[in-house]
Structure 1
Amino acid sequence: MRRRHLLALVGSLVAGSGCTGTSGEPTADGTVTPAPVPSPSDAPTTPDSTGDVEITAAAVQPGIVQPRIDSIGVTDDAGQYLVVDVAGNAPDRSDIELRFSGASYLPEELRRPLYRGDFSGETYGEDGGPLVFGLPETGDATDAELYWGEGRWAPSAETVERLEDPLPPFSVTLDGPETAGAGSNPQVTITVTNEGEGAGRYVLALNRQGPRVAYTPVGRLAGELDPGASKRHTVDAVPPDGDRSTQYTLDVPGRQDRLRHVISSADGDDA
């Protein structure tokens, strides 16, 4: 298992407590078997030849976000992930495989659903849904195709390029006010910068502790950045309640510890 290195530029931020960590807790199983590149004689000849299967989206990213018991966290056990959204008369999951760099990959057996905004998560079923493929960090994607029964789908030239190029490193910061008073409207900011030489996608998971909850998800943050570009996410924060502080933790691919920011009460000492 190879985790991609991400830089964290967070001043005094330290690892927070909670239950969103990913180390020591595998959440996805993948199957990889050697497979030759299919020849024209044994491969379907037309994309989506079943006629009623639609691939609505495809994304290459360093991790996936999944619900935990009372929070959300990033899973990043693979070199990179390809997430494909299927709609229409979806084929059975067991009939689907991805050819990539001379090998065959089955969809990940997710022990928890994919989180993209709904805490109950998204799963693949009769009506389709997301398929997740854990792949090596790089490879020859000229043969990349998704197969099922009599149908197939080839990724776009941009997706092929993303599969072949290593995902760029990102620097991530989590900031906010050190104190806030009751009834105030504090905000926390997450800034992501692409420090690599190519474009890439980032995926983060933000959670909150306090002032009167043990843990609760805030949201998944994701986006595409060109080399040298930055994106700033601003999130409305919950102010402290009496002497109870508010803490935000951010799960970042490639980090075993989470970024942490605490907002203490401006009206008195924390308990």
Structure 2
Amino acid sequence: MHRRTFVASMGGTLAALTGCLGNRRQSDGPPPTGTRTRTATPTRTDEPTADVTVESLHLQYGVVTPSSPDSIGISHADTPYLVASVRVDGPLSWEAFGLRMADVRYAPTRLDRLYRTTWGEDHWYERGRSDGLVLFEAPSTATDDLQLIWPGGERPVDDGIVARLDGETPRLSASFDVPETHDGRTAPDITIDVTNEGSTAGRFLGALNRVGPVVAYTPVTRLSRLVPAGESETISVADSWGGSPAEERLGDGEPDVTYRLDYPGGEDAAAIRLRDPS
């Protein structure tokens, strides 16, 4: 089993590394194999064409949404979503995008209750914006001709994503690695070990919350990481407490900070007792 380490900053964004016709590519799998036709039929004749760059295309199960006024959690954990990050030069509505499989077209969808209304620092694409995210509820199974389309253009969905849609959803587990005691007044590094116990790659999606030491309950960040089959990865989270707890609470033997992680199929928690550094 191999282990990789990544760093997650609070409110991270989807990376922007790929071209719309494959010059540069970031996705959840290897580039498509074989020859594909690039003559997509426009799905709306009233839509003008625009210059579209697909910067990334990810598959994930579920979305991170507010679960209360001061916490986040996972919703629709059994639903596969394709998340396209696009850059658009020209007038084009978000409804003009689609997923095409054979002769069937799937329209994009919107969810109102996403964490911070958007995806961290990202936002929905809509007419008048130069970039943003387009969300699709993906078909439960796919063929090798699944494509992201828009008027005048298309991009094949990568073979790795298609294989994951056709295969069994892998089981992902996660656990904290944090100190039981901490003598600083700033947050220690928070690390989360994620293991993919399946035979196919899977994207880990997590909602991280914190109790204490100053605020009773608050969201920390949304976690998203593609984990190869049979491997483990370590995600490091940089947190900020926004202040120090009252001195009379230090050293009383009770947890001063508790981190809670929610992810599809599981949850975990870790408590930290703070010591007076003086």
TM-score of the superposed pair, with normalisation by structure 2 = 0.66
**Which string of whole-angstrom CA distances, capped at 9 and with x for unpartnered residues, describes residues 84-119 of structure 1?**
11211363122332234775422222113465433x
Instruction: Call closer, same or farther: CA 1:211–1:149 in 2, change over 3 Å.
Output: same
1:53 counterpart letter in structure 2: V
Distance 1:102 1:166 in 2: 25
Per-residue deviation, residues 32-89 of structure 1 (Å, max 9, x unmatched)? xxxxxxxx9x9529xxx93511211101112333456434333334431111112113
Of the three residues 225, 228, 231, the one matched with 1:229 is: 231
Q: Give me the whole-angstrom Cα distance separating, in 2, the residues matched to 1:43 and 1:184.
A: 54
Report matched runs for 1:25-44 at 5 Å. Answer: 44=41
1:137-188 superposed Cα distances (whole Å, 9 cap, x missing partner): x413223122334433322333333332233211111232233335375333
The answer to whether the 8 A contact 2:144-2:159 is kept is no
2:54 equivalent in structure 1:
55
Is residue 260 of structure 1 aligned with residue 269 of structure 2?
A: yes
Note the alpha carbon deviations across 1:7-26, whole angstroms, 9 max, x for none.
xxxxxxxxxxxxxxxxxxxx
CA distance in 1, matches of 2:112, 2:168: 27
Q: Is 1:167 aligned with 2:169?
A: yes
Paired with 1:247 and 1:81, the residues of 2 have a C-alpha distance of 31
> Which residue does 1:91 correspond to in 2?
92
State the secondary structure of the residue aligned to 1:223. strand
Cα deviation, residue 219, structure 1: 1.8
Q: TM-score, normalised by structure 1?
A: 0.68
CA change 1:185–1:57 in 2 (3 A) is: closer
Secondary structure at the residue paired with 1:80? Answer: strand
- TM-superposition CA deviations, 1:242-268 (whole Å, max 9, x none): 32711111120234xx4222223445x
2:133 maps to 130
Cα distance in 2 for partners of 1:55, 1:190 equals 30
Q: Secondary structure at the match of 2:193?
A: strand
Decide whether the 8 Å contact of 1:62 with 1:167 is kept in 2.
Answer: no
User: Shift of residue 213 of structure 1?
Assistant: 0.7
| CA positional deviation for 1:226 | 1.8
Contact persistence 1:141–1:163 (CA under 8 A): no
Q: What is the CA-CA distance between 1:210 and the residue it aligns to?
A: 1.0
Higher deviation after alignment, 97-106 or 229-238: 97-106
- Give, in whole Å, the separation in 1 of the partners of 2:176 and 2:102: 37
CA–CA distance in 2 between the matches of 1:116 and 1:91? Answer: 21
Unaligned residue ranges in structure 2 (runs of 5+): 1-36, 43-47, 250-254
Q: What is the aligned partner in structure 2 of residue 112 from structure 1?
A: 113
Q: Distance in 2 between matches of 1:185 and 1:85?
A: 32
Aligned to 1:72: 72
Output the amino acid matched with 1:139: T
Judged with a 3 Å threshold, the aligned counterparts in structure 2 of structure 1 residues 261 and 135 are, in CA distance, closer, same or farther, namely: same
Aligned-residue Cα RMSD (Å) equals 3.1
Where 1:183 maps in the other structure, the secondary structure is: coil
Q: Partners of 1:165 and 1:107 in 2: how far apart?
A: 23
State the 4+ residue runs in structure 1 displaced beyond 6 angstroms.
Answer: none
- Partners of 1:184 and 1:84 lie apart in 2 by 36
What percentage of residue pairs aligned between the two structures are identical?
35
Change over 3 Å in CA distance of 1:111–1:101 after alignment to 2: farther
Q: CA shift at 1:195, angstroms?
A: 0.6
Q: Which residue of 1 aligns with 2:143?
A: 141
Q: Which residue identity is paired with 2:61?
A: P
1:98 partner amino acid: L
Q: Please give the secondary structure, in 2, of the residue aligned with 1:76.
A: strand
Distance 2:263 2:221 in 1: 13
Gaps of 5+ in 1: 1-39
Of residues 187, 192, 195, the one that matches 2:194 is 192
Cα contact 1:101–1:140 (8 A) shared by 2: no
